[in-house]
Structure formats: structure tokens, C-alpha cells
Amino acid sequence: MVKYIFSFLFLITFQLAFSQKHSISGYVEDLMTGERVIGANVVDNIGKNAVQTNNYGFYTLRNVGEKVAVQAIYFGNTSDIKELTLTRDTLINFSVRSVKELNEVVVVSSKYNNSVNNRLGFNNISVKQLTSLPALGEPDLLKSIQSQAGIKGGVEGSAGIFVRGGGGGENLFMLDEVPIYNVSHLYGFFSAFNSSAVKDIKLIKGCFPARYGGRASSVVDVRSLDGNNKSVKGEFSLGFISSRFTLEGPLFNDKTTFLISGRRSYFDLYSNSLKSLKILAKDFPDYYFYDLNARIAHTFTQKDKIYLSIYKGKDNIQNKNESSVMTGKSSMSTESSNETSGWGNLIGSFRWNHTNGTRLFVNTTLSYSNYNYFSDNNYVNIKKDTVSHNQSEKRMVASYRSNITDIMIKTDFDYALSNKQNLTFGAGNTFRTIQPGENHYLADNQEINEKIDTSYTNRIIVASEPFSYVEDEIKATENLIINAGLRLSGFLSDSHRWFNLEPRLSANYTVSPSLVFKAGYSRMVQYMHLLSSSGVSMPTDLWVPAANGLLPLKSDQINLGFGWNWGEKLLFSVEIYHKWLTNTTDIRDGMSLITDLAPWYDKTAQGHGISKGIELSVDKQQGRWKGSFHYTLSSADRIYSEINNGQSFPFKFDRRHDLNISVNYQISPRWDISAMWFFGSGYPVTLPVERYAPALRLWNYDTSAGDEIGYMPSRNNCRLPAYHRLDLGIHYKKTNRLGEHGISFDIFNAYNRHNPVNAHFYFYIPVYTYLLPCIPSVTYTLKF
């Protein structure tokens, strides 16, 4: 069967490749900034052909006649029509106004409005939409992703997303094609992506193209701005918790652009004032995060452009204490402690875009990505005799570190065989160094002359993850578009060698211009596992490779659905998915990643996961009233032979009903208001429901347990109360000679719902903890 499919594809390829006439290719750029536009349509009004720009704004329109009338269209904005008589292959660049600059989107014909044609599982998240919805302090990419159908956001205070029953570590976050391991600040309240520096966001949760791999459940492809090549522009924003700035413009000439964008929280700067006013407890920790994006892009010729990008982000939490007491007439004891922990990413990339003729676009990427987590605890007790000045010191140090570094090189080719067929292929390798956790303890007690210096270190693992892929998008008939692909991936370490083939297939069948039926299948293989204590996604989670008994994670997903554009106003989308996860990883009963000193592979168990669901989306993105409705009905279960007596149990982030409704109303060109409401049925938790006497009283002094047993029928046997929250926002903007001033007033959790974070017992009464009450915030933004 596979043989016939590939023969069929080859014949179509052959026929289409040799029946073409002339080609037009080039870039579509933003009229105001020179920024290359992703996903714009280039249309030949005479030949009635249309193609879309790729991730670098490049297009190829092939097989056109001698006379063409071409223009670029992007979300209803059109470039000038260029009428030409062609005698050979020609390079044409277009300038189009980007939607980001508009107050209101113009209605556009559905023929070139590609939302309804989006492949199953694809979501394009508008950067403008980020700023038009209520936010906690500032627009946030992760929060916006969490509001999409099929995506769950974990609990407040934990990072990450959970896509279609997948785990927190099964999502490939890419910033300018470089994988980024930790995407959150402040335990998930802010994402690591600074929205001021973002150009385009794609979320893929099924029917994955073959160019993506390495994670089992989703891809979040974030592209940052190249930098304005017309003039120096900037943005400054002062918020409740953090502030940010962005500066971009041409450097020396319009061929070279720069962009620098930074953000920092400042709670640590005023926490001392709060402590001195006794509003905060003395031992309340100081916290800050920052991130910095810098980029230089240089266009050598129409054919060559390079990008150099750097991202650095860090979270730091510190708690310092010192106290002295007189312990006798002449002896003083001084205790000081300093607990610091933090996590951060450092990524850098060099990319080179090259076009060869009008057909072939080549992108080569060399990148570096590092994620590290550290925790240091220092305790010093000095006993000093104030008369004799003799002193003794007791010092204890406990530290923990984990680290992962990737160096990746890859080349992607985009080859336009015709207007009806596009071939994408490429290969690359990631060289990876993994340090999965190191504990170090130092105790130095001068009083009894005792010194202990011990390290428990997991072996550093060096591995490589090569891949190659080919992907063919064919417009087989006027109504049928097929995307077929195959990815070969591998993982090579000194002890293991894995190779896997990952087939991908999706098809869109257009019944009418406003109704498209879709189907697809994809297999994804993941060679890195994210181990998470208690299932909550935290910076302490540990990335470990498929080694020491752990097998690679595989996901197989089938999807069915349709998109319906109703009266050019509402876009309906329905998707059904069924996903099988093989070799999911979980922590064994009673194990903890950090506090248990056993190696990580002794703390884990592997099993299977099954998830299924139906997602319904309704979007209205035109007119003064805009809004969206996303509902998901789903279930996600796990089965492990070593957990829960081999019985199936609900996944930690299984949520039966998930609903998100958002609306935005443009009152006037200056004012708009927005509201967003979330509802999700409660996440499962493991809680005992009865108590009984043990046969053996094995008392544990550490936990004061041993007199009774709490009976839990199964893992994740109970459900937390439902999560719901209303966020409100009102935005005002005004332009004067300084630039565009904007003020946003937002209320997070407007009706002060106490949303559950976790559950435990408090004197035999089951209780849940909640974190975030109603929080108002004001943000001032100046764009110049």
C-alpha cells in the first residue's frame, strides 16, 4: 500500500515538475517596517493561482503564463497589483500592511482567507490578539496558548501546557527554530517569550508536518521580529510586576537591522520596603526574573540573508536570614542562612537564508541551547565567646544542580515543484550533554571536629539526536490537498542507539470555499523524558534521556474534523482526536526527584497513555465585536504495570470539560474592552478516603506517621473543585508627537474565585490550596 502511495506521489511530482512555464519568487514584506511576513498569500489574478509565504516570508509562484497580475494579501490587506509580461523567471518583492498596524481588520474573501483551510491541529495565534485580551500585568503567549481548544494549563503556580492528554515535557517550544527547554517565569505566571519581540506564533497539536520532531504532543513555533529596516522604533511598557522595552531599527543602512528587547520584574526591589513596613514576613523570599532578546539581521543580496539571535532568561529566588542571641553570660550565637534557587535558558542561533534560483529556498541553522536549574542552601552558626573571643563555626551547605545543553546544526530546503506541489526536506543533528541532577552536601562542625563532604551525581550523558525528513504538499485535485511526510530520527549515546521512522499524513478536502473536511495521522517520537515530581510542572523537573531502561516515548494520533466559514463572519472548527502514547514515564509511588538520592532511572516507571477528545472552536475576528469560543470534551488515562496495581488511572491533567470564551469590543479607535472566561472541570488528585489500623507500627519520626493507613482506592481517585475565572480588561490608546501611548487596566480573576492548586489534609479535613485572588493591574505602554 505504501509502495502505491509513493508511486502515485512520484508520478504527480514528475508530471507537475515538467509542465511549468515561468516562475515568480521573492519576499513579502511589511510596508511600514520591512519585516518579512509569514503566511501571506501571493495571488496571480490572471492565472488564478495562489501560494503562501513560508516562515521566512518567501514565496514561489510557478507555472504562470506570460502575462501576470500579482499581488500579496495578508489578513485582508493587499499590496499593489503588479502587472508584468514575463520572459524568464522573475524575482518580485511585495510590500503589504501588516495587521499589527491596523485598528480594524478589513473583511476579506474566504478564497484567500486560509483559516478555514488550516491543517488539522494547527492554530495561528495572532500577536495582535495577545494585546487585545485581558492579561495579568502584560500580554502573555503561554496564557493565550492555554486558552485554545485541547490545551490545558496545569494549575496556577505551575508552568507549561498539557496538550491532548500529553505531559508537560511533550511540547516542543521553539524560538526562531531553536528548542527552548523551560518557557516560564515566576512558576508559570509569565512565559519566557516577550510579546514585544514576537512576530508569529504557530501552535500545532496534531497532524504534525515531518519537519517537526523530538516531542510527542505539540509544537509551539515562535518567530521573533527581524527588526525594522525603515526607521528606529521602540516600545516601553511599565507594568505592575515587570517592565519591558524594545528597540529596533536599521543599523548603518536598511540592509542591516537590529532588535533588542528586555524585561525585568522588580518585586525584589521593593520587597525590603514591604518587609520593613511589616506588610511582608521578614523571611519572605526575594524574587526576580529577567529576559533579554537581541538580534541582528543582515541582507547581503536578494538571495542571502543572515540572522544572529541571542536569548537569555533567568529566574532567581533568594531567602536570607540572620539572627543573633546571647546563649550565656559571655557567649553569643549567630545563625545565618541563605537559600537561593534559580533556573534559566541561554540560547543563541545563527541562521542563513539562501535562495537558489526561483524554486529553492534554503535555511541553515546553527544553534546553542542551555537550560539549568540550581538550588543552594547555606547555613552557618557561629558561637563566639565575647570575653575570650574564641569562636567555633558550624557550616552546612546543600546544593542541587541539573543542566542540559544542545548544539544543533540543520539545513531545511523548500523546493517549489509547481504551484500545486511543494517539497520540503532537510536534515540535521543535535549534540546533547545532559547532567540529570547532582546533589552536594557539606557539613563542617568545628565544635566536634567533624567534616562531611559528599556528592551524589548522576552520570553525565553525552548523546546526539540526528534526523532527516521529507515532506510533500500536493494539491492533488482542485479540492484535495495532501501533505505526506516521513521523518527518520535517531538517538545515539554510548549505551543506546535508537532509530525510528515517523510517518505523517494529512489531507484537506474542500467541499465548498467555506467548508473543508480534514483528516490526518502522525507519529511522533521523543527521546527525552521530563520527570516531574507529583506531576506538577516545575523548574525542578528533570530532563533525562531514553537510556538506563527508559524507552523512547511514541505518540500515534489520528484526527478528523472540518472547518466551516459561516457567512464570512464566523469560523467554526471541529476536531476529533484519538492519541496513543507508548512509553510514558512517571514517578513511582513515594518517590521524589530531588529528595530521594536514588538515580532517576530507579525512581521512574514506564507505561502507556490513551487520550481522546472532541474540540469545538468558533472564532469571529472581524468587525468591532471580536471573540472566540473554545470547548473541549476529553479524557486522558495512564496505565503502568508498577503503579496503581497495574490498573488504569486518570492522567494528572485529565479534564473532562474545558471551556474558554473571550470577547473584545472596539468602542472607538481609542478605547476597547475585553473579557475572558475560563471553565475547567477539576483535575484529579490522590487523596485517602478512609483510615484504618496497620498490622505493623513502623513509626517514622520524620513524618510522624505510623499509627494509621490512609486508604486510596487508586492513584488520582478524587477531583479538585472546578476551575473558573473571569478576566476583564479595558485599553486606551492615544497618539501624540511622542508616539502612541496606551494604558491597560486589567482585572485578573474578577470575581475572586478561589481556584484549587493542590489538595491535602489539615487535621483530617481535606482542604485545597488556592493562590491567586482578584488582582487588578495597570500597564502603561509607549510606542515610538
Partner 1 sequence: MQFSALKKPINFLLFAISLLLQTACQLEQISLPDTGRKIVLNGLINSDSLIRVYVGKSIYISDSDGFVVQNLDNAKVYIYQNGLIIDSLQHDFKVINWGVFYPSGNYYSKKVKPLPGKEYRIVAKIPGLPDVSATAILPNPVKIEKVDAAEIRLDPSNEDALKCNIKFADPLNETNYYLVEVFYKYGDQITPIISERFTCKDPVVEEYLSDGEIAGGNLAGVVFSDKVINGKTYSLNLTIWRNPAHSGVGLRSVIYFHLYSISENYFKYIRTLNLYNAKFGKPLSEPVQVFSNITGGYGIFAGAAVSCDSLVFNR
Contacting residue, 686, 744, 779, 781, with partner 1 by CB under 8 A: 686
Residue 522 or 585 with smaller CB distance to partner 1:
585
Q: For residue 407, how far is the Cα from the chain centroid?
A: 20
Which span (32-40, 207-215, 392-400, 694-702) binds partner 1, by CB under 8 A? 694-702
Q: Applying CB under 8 A, does 692 fall inside the site for partner 1?
A: yes
Residues 644-683 that bind partner 1 (CB under 8 A): 644-645
Residue 642 CB, shortest distance to partner 1, in Å, is 12
Residue 405, C-alpha cell as written in the block: 545543553
Task: Give one DSSP letter per residue of 202-252, joined into a string.
Answer: EEE-SS--TT--S-SSEEEEEEE----SSS-EEEEEE-SSEEEEEEEEEES
Task: Give one DSSP letter per residue of 401-414, joined into a string.
Answer: EEEEEEEEEEEEEE
- The contacts of residue 665 (CB under 8 Å, 6+ apart) are 624, 625, 626, 672, 673, 674
Residues 35-94 that bind partner 1 (CB under 8 A): none
Contacting residue, 513, 689, 735, 784, with partner 1 by CB under 8 A: 689
Q: Are 167 and 217 in contact (CB under 8 A)?
A: yes
Which single residue is written with the C-alpha cell 500580554? 139
Contacting residue, 9, 280, 397, 663, with partner 1 by CB under 8 A: 280
Contacting residue, 2, 325, 387, 693, with partner 1 by CB under 8 A: 693
At position 747, the amino acid (one-letter code) is I
Residues 487-526 that bind partner 1 (CB under 8 A): none
Beta bridge partners of 617: 573, 630
Contacting residue, 696, 736, 737, 738, with partner 1 by CB under 8 A: 696
Would you tell me how many other CB atoms lie within 10 Å of the CB of residue 738?
A: 9
Q: Tell me which residue of 354, 356, 351, 256 sits closest to 304, measured CA to CA.
A: 354
Q: Applying CB under 8 A, does 599 fall inside the site for partner 1?
A: no
Residue 380 or 709 with smaller CB distance to partner 1:
709
Q: For residue 221, how far is the Cα from the chain centroid?
A: 8
Residue 432 CB, shortest distance to partner 1, in Å, is 27
Which single residue is written with the C-alpha cell 506564533? 201
Helix (H, G, I), strand (E, B) or coil at 667: coil
Q: Are 338 and 395 in contact (CB under 8 A)?
A: no
Q: Applying CB under 8 A, does 708 fall inside the site for partner 1?
A: yes
Residue 325 or 696 with smaller CB distance to partner 1:
696
Cα dihedral sign for 24, 25, 28, 29? Answer: negative
Provide the 8-state DSSP code for 286. Answer: E
Residue 783 CB, shortest distance to partner 1, in Å, is 22
Which span (89-97, 436-444, 511-519, 708-716) binds partner 1, by CB under 8 A? 708-716
Contacting residue, 85, 87, 449, 703, with partner 1 by CB under 8 A: 703
Residue 261 or 604 with smaller CB distance to partner 1:
604
Residue 121 or 756 with smaller CB distance to partner 1:
756
Residue 80 or 450 with smaller CB distance to partner 1:
450
Q: Are 94 and 61 in contact (CB under 8 A)?
A: no
Residue 98 or 242 with smaller CB distance to partner 1:
242
Burial status of residue 680 (CB atoms within 10 A of its CB: 0-12, 13-18, 19 or more) = buried
Annotate each residue in 739-778 with x if it binds partner 1 (CB under 8 A) or - if it does not, as one string.
---------------x-x-xxxxxxxxxxxxxxxx-xx--
Residues 565-594 that bind partner 1 (CB under 8 A): 586-594
Which single residue is written with the C-alpha cell 517550544? 173
Which span (62-70, 496-504, 569-577, 706-714) binds partner 1, by CB under 8 A? 706-714
Residue 195 or 686 with smaller CB distance to partner 1:
686
Which span (16-24, 482-490, 547-555, 687-695) binds partner 1, by CB under 8 A? 687-695
Residue 295, C-alpha cell as written in the block: 538580534
Residues 212-271 that bind partner 1 (CB under 8 A): 240, 267, 270
Residue 402 CB, shortest distance to partner 1, in Å, is 15
Q: Are 200 and 222 in contact (CB under 8 A)?
A: yes
Contacting residue, 525, 546, 687, 750, with partner 1 by CB under 8 A: 687
Residue 288 CB, shortest distance to partner 1, in Å, is 14
| CA 455 – CA 457 distance, rounded (Å) | 6
Would you tell me how many other CB atoms lie within 10 Å of the CB of residue 472?
A: 22
Residues 619-648 that bind partner 1 (CB under 8 A): 644-645
Residue 205 or 638 with smaller CB distance to partner 1:
638
Residue 593 CB, shortest distance to partner 1, in Å, is 8
Residue 648 CB, shortest distance to partner 1, in Å, is 15
Q: Are 165 and 581 in contact (CB under 8 A)?
A: yes
In the chain, the largest separation of any two C-alpha atoms, in whole Å, equals 103
**Residue 91: in which H helix or E strand, if any?**
strand 90-91
Residue 549 CB, shortest distance to partner 1, in Å, is 16
